[in-house]
Each structure stands twice: as C-alpha cells, then as structure tokens.
Chain A
C-alpha cells in the first residue's frame, strides 16, 4: 500500500547514505547447496581493482566461488550521487555444504560475513507439496472464521476448521532485513528463496543502486524445482497473479510494483497452472483496460507457449481435466472478495459476474497438476484476507479466511487420496487485529459503543449457517463478533458490517494527510477513532507478531518451535531433496 511505497522510498534513500561495507548474501545467510545466487560487495569508497582482496575460508574467492567477479569502479545513486565501488559475481553455486567465511578488504574498509550452505536429504520425502498461504492470516482471523463458520456453544467450538487439524506446527518470524515490520513481498520471498530480504523486494537482496531489476538474485523455489525435477508448478491466487505473493514464487525485483516485468518472469518459468486476477498487465497498451506501457500481448505469448486460456468459471471448469498448461485470468485487477462475489454482489461483481472462487481454482489446479507422475508444487494464496484487513473491513477479511480454509479442505481431500503430499498452511505476516467480544443491537440505548459486550456481557454471536455452506447465512446478524484493530488511520467505527462495499476508513486531504472518511460519520452510533500511525498512512498496517504455520504429511516433522521464514524454505527443499543430486 502507499505506506509501503513510502517505506521503499525511505529505504532507498537510506541505502544511498554512507553505510558499512555490505556483502550479499548477508551475514548468517543460509544457502541451499547447488542453488545459484548472485554475490555482491558494496564498498563505501571508490577504490581500484588491485586494492580489493576477497577471500573465502582464507582462499582466494575465485577458487572457491568458481569465477571472477565484475568490478564496478563507481556505482551511482539517484542524481548521479557517487556511492562507491562494487564487486559483482552472478549465478555462482556452492555445492559442498558447510560454513563459508567471506572476508573483504579494500583500502581501509573491511567486512566479514559467514554463510551456511546446507544439503538436504538424498531422497525426496514427498512427491507433492501444497503450500497454502493466507495473506495477513492472523490468529484473530482464524478464531473468527471458526466461530462464524461453525458456531460456539458454552465456550466450545461447534466444529473445526480444516486448518485446525494440521498437526505439525511452528511459530514463524516475519521480519525483514531492514525492518521489524514488513510486507508481503519480502515475507513470501523468504519462504520461497530461503533468504530474508528488504521490504518490497522479491527474489533478490536489495542493493543500493536505484534500478530495481538488477539487484543480486537468489533462486526461487519454483526455479529450483524446475532446475532439478520434472515436477509441475502451480500458482493460484485471488489477487493479481503478478501481485507480491504469487510473484515471489518465481520473480526477482527490488520493487514489487514492477508488475509488467513480473508477467514476463512468470512466462520465463512457465508454471503449468497459473490462476488469478490481473489481466490488465497481460494486455498491450493499446487495449482499453491495459496497465502496460508497451504493446506486448502476453495473452498471446502464453498461448503461443502452449497455454489454454480461461477467463471465467465456466471456461475454468471446461479446462479442469484437459492436458497442457493452463492460464486462468478472471479479472483485470484483484478478484472480488467472497462476501461481495457470493453474497452481496457488490464491488465489481456485475462487471465480472463469472469469477471462480479459491476453492474452484484449487480443485482445477490439483486435477491438472496431479496428472504429472513426477509430482508438483502448488502455491495457493488466500490473497484478500490481507486486502480486506488493511481497510479494517473485518467481516470481509473473515469471509476470505473461511474461503481459504475451504481451499485447505480441498487440499486435505487430495492428500487423503495421495498421502505422498506435504501440506503447509501459514500466513506471511499478521495484522493488528483481535476479537474482543460482540456487538449486540438488542442492548438498550442508541450509542453503539454501549452495545459492545466484553467479558461476560459478550455472550456468543448469533450467526446461523442453515444451508451448510460454511458461511453465515447473514453477515449483519443482531449479535456480531467484534473485531478491533490496534492501529490505523483516523476513522469512524460503525460497529456494523459494510454492506455497500468494502470499508474505506480514511481519505486524503489537501495536505496529503489521511483523515477519517466522513461518509461514515452519520452512520447511527458511529464513533470517531483517532489514528495512532502517521497521517501519511491510509489504512491499518501489518503487525510484526509471529505467524502460525501448520503442516501435515511427509516432511511436516521439519516444522517445530520458532523458525524464521527463511528456515521454512529449507524444510520445503528437504522434502523434495533439492540439495541432493536427483536421480529421477
């Protein structure tokens, strides 16, 4: 969101200021044996090549890293600002596991980092991995989804979510290399590369030069799967397919907003199944609705590469069991959220009336990917849990969580028939949200805050699911769960679901400050909530709290205790034995 853009600008400026000598990969990096990565040293001063000495475990780097680095005498920042010299070696590989100490000396600058190169099991533990990511999935989202979907009697849940029965668990740290609180680009990138990186970065370390596409790269999981196996790759999201999370499966950029470039990177890796929104970046600029700045027709390029195209749920269903690669694009932008798509018919549903949901997309992806006798890697993103949590629209965010859980149910069914499948369910970061009770319209008075029940006054909400579809039949019941944000811009709390479309908490004024959206001021009982983040923030922000990861199937035993996001990659790589020479 805008706040992230601001953060990006800030980090770029900081990176341009005098810093300690930097070596990429950073100190304490963990690197999959044999996985290609770029090595870069950024010196503070301009030096001569002969003044630079780099050793790896005491030996000249060329012997160990297998090549001579490119020397850049002077890197330039914004407005041609001199940044210092740099050394760059792209696409190197280290096959032998162990610790590697890299020592750099140039003039009076010195820097030392240590990397750990790890191998994996020699044999794969599972044939398939289904990685399900709820963007922004926080504990409150899942608790609310359980209560709204299944109900609660005398303090015990009346039913369980699909994610509740995944037995192996870990707490996952989400922080970025440059900030404790982070975004979806670098969090998913850490899962998908095994390297933590900076806010807004995907598949790269964030270097100091302004260009966003030349930063030191690390291999993504999909690329490793391509390099070493004959497995298929699937990507399913309700966001634009070039949005941060799906992009991180394959892409490399310092700036997640390079969406037009990400489409090309998707085509480079050619996932067998690619389903979601975001067709605007596939259309040449002459086509109304395009968001490209060039005339590349990526719909045609994908079709020329052998892809079948589906643009609505009927075409998706017709393609469910066909052969060949499948590109499904169901919206020019992000797909509509479950509450609007299936129930309220708000948002852009009348523009794109036949969008499939996450469940249907997951089913088709599994049907097609499972045809490959070598197995597959499938990433499924419940994208809009996050997209609805930013504007503090908790009802929409919880409906998204229920839909995400139903997609997990599809994966669990598949796993029953195919026990050689690892399922991983997690979030990429959390939001500052908690359930603190209920709102009861029957409580006396007109002030809505007096209708908020906490502790014993809360009772239980009265959602009903008489048609058994897993969603409450009505979202605006008389006694509702009350979710509240611990951060946000100035806004009006209405204590009610937003039936007319997603909540827009704050609007910008002429000073470019976000102020409470007065459209909600006159909602009966609405109260003004003063923001507690800078006025440049337009919505609630991510929380740095750990996320919960749950897992089941072969390889799941690798998840336990506290883990960094980058450690999760290692378990995935171990499950497919990507650090060993594959025989199949």
Chain B
C-alpha cells in the first residue's frame, strides 16, 4: 500500500498542499533551486470560479525552468507540442474525453524535434516558462501554462 499515497496525492489531492508550499517557496531565498518547479507549485488558489497561478509561476515567467512529469500520449503524431502531466494520463479514470485533461497540465513546445517516449516514463523538461491563455494555431488546443524552446530527457 505504501506507493498509493503518492499516486493519489499527486492525482487529485495535491492541491490542498499548494497554499503552504507556495508560501514556503516565497520564504526561501532565491536560488538556483527555484528554477525547478513542481506540479504542486503551479497554482496558489483553487476555486469554482477559476484557479490562480502561484507567485512562483509569476516570478519565473520568461525564465528558464525545469519540471518533472509525464508525457501524455500526443494528440497527433506530428504535433509540435505535447502535454506534460503530473501522473501518467492513463491513470485518469475520470477523463471521459481528450478535452478532460486534469487542471494542472503544462504544454511543452520543443525547441527541436525529439522522439516521443512511452507515457509511463518520468521525464524532466527544461525550457522557458510562460503563462496566460494561448491557442495553438495548428491544433486549436488551448493552454494556460507552457514551456517553450524546451528539451527533455528521461529521468
């Protein structure tokens, strides 16, 4: 059973911890470690009427960051981006359609073409963080958080 808490915390329960984590991040002196950002640190506030990006996201916007996660199965083979999720997308029994991504996805635009990895492999993505609504002109996919000029490797 011991693996379960992390699995489910990450899937649905992660959000409650965010308030405190975000505060902790602010309190810490700025350092290289700050450019690492986790899924837990993306949002500062959750609510029915919308989510709010954390101070850390706002501070790191436009800067180089790295982030660990999973590559969701690509929308189309030739898409120039993929969706980074906190847990493998196959662990989403509630998702009734491709539109039903979890709240906390990050879209990754690659600087150069790379081979896609299997969905269960943890990867680390490095690139420039960007937030705000963006509609991919080619696919119409709407995203709120992106890593641009990205590269990734398996970890």
List residues of A whose CB falls within 8 A of some B CB. Answer: 1-2, 4-5, 243, 256-257, 259, 279-280, 283, 285-293, 299, 311-312, 329-334, 346-352, 387, 390-391, 498, 500-510, 512, 514, 517, 519-520, 522-523, 538-539
Is B135 in contact with chain A by the CB < 8 A criterion? yes
> Which residues between 14 and 64 of chain B lie within 8 Å of chain A, taking CB atoms?
15-17, 43, 46-53
Closest Cβ of chain B: how far from A317's Cβ, in Å? 16
B99 in contact with A259 (CB, 8 Å): yes
The 9 closest A-B pairs by CB, nearest first: A350-B16, A501-B8, A510-B118, A508-B90, A351-B15, A257-B97, A289-B51, A288-B51, A500-B4
Q: Which residue of A lies closest to B103 (CB)?
A: A289
Q: Which of B50, B53, B100, B119 touches A290 (beta carbons < 8 Å)?
A: B50
Q: B91 — which chain A residues lie within 8 A by C-beta?
A: 504, 507, 517
Q: Which residue of B lies closest to A523 (CB)?
A: B1
Number of A-B residue pairs at CB separation under 8 A: 143
Q: Which of B5, B50, B90 touches A287 (beta carbons < 8 Å)?
A: B50
A283 in contact with B50 (CB, 8 Å): yes
Q: Which residue of B lies closest to A312 (CB)?
A: B48
Q: How far is the CA of A517 from the CA of B11 in the complex (A)?
A: 14
A350 in contact with B13 (CB, 8 Å): yes
Is B142 in contact with chain A by the CB < 8 A criterion? yes
Q: Which residue of A lies closest to B141 (CB)?
A: A293
Q: How far is the CA of A257 from the CA of B101 in the complex (A)?
A: 13
B8 in contact with A346 (CB, 8 Å): yes
B4 in contact with A538 (CB, 8 Å): no
Q: How far is the CA of A289 from the CA of B49 in the complex (A)?
A: 8
26 contacts between A and B (CB under 8 A): A5-B96, A5-B98, A257-B99, A285-B133, A285-B135, A288-B52, A293-B135, A330-B48, A332-B48, A332-B51, A346-B12, A350-B13, A351-B46, A352-B48, A498-B4, A500-B5, A501-B4, A501-B11, A501-B12, A507-B88, A507-B90, A508-B73, A510-B118, A517-B91, A519-B3, A538-B93
Q: How far is the CA of A2 from the CA of B99 in the complex (A)?
A: 12
A510 in contact with B120 (CB, 8 Å): yes
Closest Cβ of chain A: how far from B120's Cβ, in Å? 6
Q: B118 — which chain A residues lie within 8 A by C-beta?
A: 509-510
A4 in contact with B15 (CB, 8 Å): no
Q: Which residue of B lies closest to A390 (CB)?
A: B93
Q: A259 — which chain B residues lie within 8 A by C-beta?
A: 97, 99
Known interface pairs A334-B94, A509-B118, A509-B120; A288-B144 also in contact (CB < 8 Å) = yes
Is B75 in contact with chain A by the CB < 8 A criterion? no
Q: B120 — which chain A residues lie within 8 A by C-beta?
A: 507-510
Q: A519 — which chain B residues lie within 8 A by C-beta?
A: 3-4, 7
B12 in contact with A348 (CB, 8 Å): yes
Q: A243 — which chain B residues lie within 8 A by C-beta?
A: 96
A4 in contact with B49 (CB, 8 Å): no
Q: Which of A288, A293, A299, A508 touches B89 (beta carbons < 8 Å)?
A: A508
B3 in contact with A350 (CB, 8 Å): no
Is B137 in contact with chain A by the CB < 8 A criterion? no
Q: How far is the CA of A522 from the CA of B11 in the complex (A)?
A: 20
Q: B2 — which chain A residues lie within 8 A by C-beta?
A: 522
Known: A257-B99, A350-B13, A508-B120. 4 other contacts (CB 8 A): A5-B98, A288-B144, A347-B13, A502-B93
A288 in contact with B53 (CB, 8 Å): yes
Q: Which residue of A lies closest to B93 (CB)?
A: A391
Q: A350 — which chain B residues lie within 8 A by C-beta?
A: 13, 15-17
Closest Cβ of chain B: how far from A493's Cβ, in Å? 14
Closest Cβ of chain A: how far from B132's Cβ, in Å? 8
Q: How far is the CA of A508 from the CA of B70 in the complex (A)?
A: 12
Q: B3 — which chain A residues lie within 8 A by C-beta?
A: 519, 522
A279 in contact with B119 (CB, 8 Å): no
Closest Cβ of chain B: how far from A471's Cβ, in Å? 21
Q: Which residue of B lies closest to A299 (CB)?
A: B49
Q: Which of B7, B95, B98, B99 touches A500 (beta carbons < 8 Å)?
A: B7
Encode contact with A along B82-111: 1 for CB under 8 Å, 0 otherwise.
Answer: 000000111101111111110100000000
Q: A332 — which chain B residues lie within 8 A by C-beta?
A: 46, 48, 51, 103
Q: How far is the CA of A457 from the CA of B87 in the complex (A)?
A: 41
B97 in contact with A5 (CB, 8 Å): yes
Q: How far is the CA of A162 from the CA of B107 in the complex (A)?
A: 48
Q: Which residue of A lies closest to B57 (CB)?
A: A288
Q: A512 — which chain B residues lie within 8 A by C-beta?
A: 73
Q: A2 — which chain B residues lie within 8 A by C-beta?
A: 95
Q: Which residue of B lies closest to A336 (CB)?
A: B12
Q: Which of A1, A331, A500, A523 touches B8 (beta carbons < 8 Å)?
A: A500
Closest Cβ of chain A: how far from B24's Cβ, in Å? 17
Q: B142 — which chain A residues lie within 8 A by C-beta?
A: 285, 290, 292-293
B13 in contact with A283 (CB, 8 Å): no
Q: A292 — which chain B residues lie within 8 A by C-beta?
A: 142
A538 in contact with B53 (CB, 8 Å): no
B49 in contact with A283 (CB, 8 Å): yes
Q: How far is the CA of A210 from the CA of B101 in the complex (A)?
A: 24
Q: A312 — which chain B residues lie within 8 A by C-beta?
A: 48
Q: Which of A331, A391, A501, A522 touches B7 (beta carbons < 8 Å)?
A: A501
Q: B96 — which chain A residues lie within 8 A by C-beta?
A: 1, 4-5, 243, 256-257
A286 in contact with B48 (CB, 8 Å): no
Q: A1 — which chain B residues lie within 8 A by C-beta?
A: 93, 95-96
Q: How far is the CA of A503 from the CA of B12 in the complex (A)?
A: 12
Known interface pairs A350-B13, A500-B8; A286-B133 also in contact (CB < 8 Å) = yes
Closest Cβ of chain A: how far from B131's Cβ, in Å? 8
Q: How far is the CA of A331 from the CA of B47 in the complex (A)?
A: 7
Closest Cβ of chain A: how far from B48's Cβ, in Å? 4
Interface centre among A257, A329, A350 (most CB of B within 10 A): A350
B49 in contact with A347 (CB, 8 Å): no
Q: Which residue of B lies closest to A507 (CB)?
A: B90
Q: B17 — which chain A residues lie within 8 A by C-beta?
A: 350
Closest Cβ of chain A: how far from B141's Cβ, in Å? 8
Q: How far is the CA of A350 from the CA of B2 in the complex (A)?
A: 21
Q: B140 — which chain A residues lie within 8 A by C-beta?
A: 293
Q: Which residue of A lies closest to B118 (CB)?
A: A510
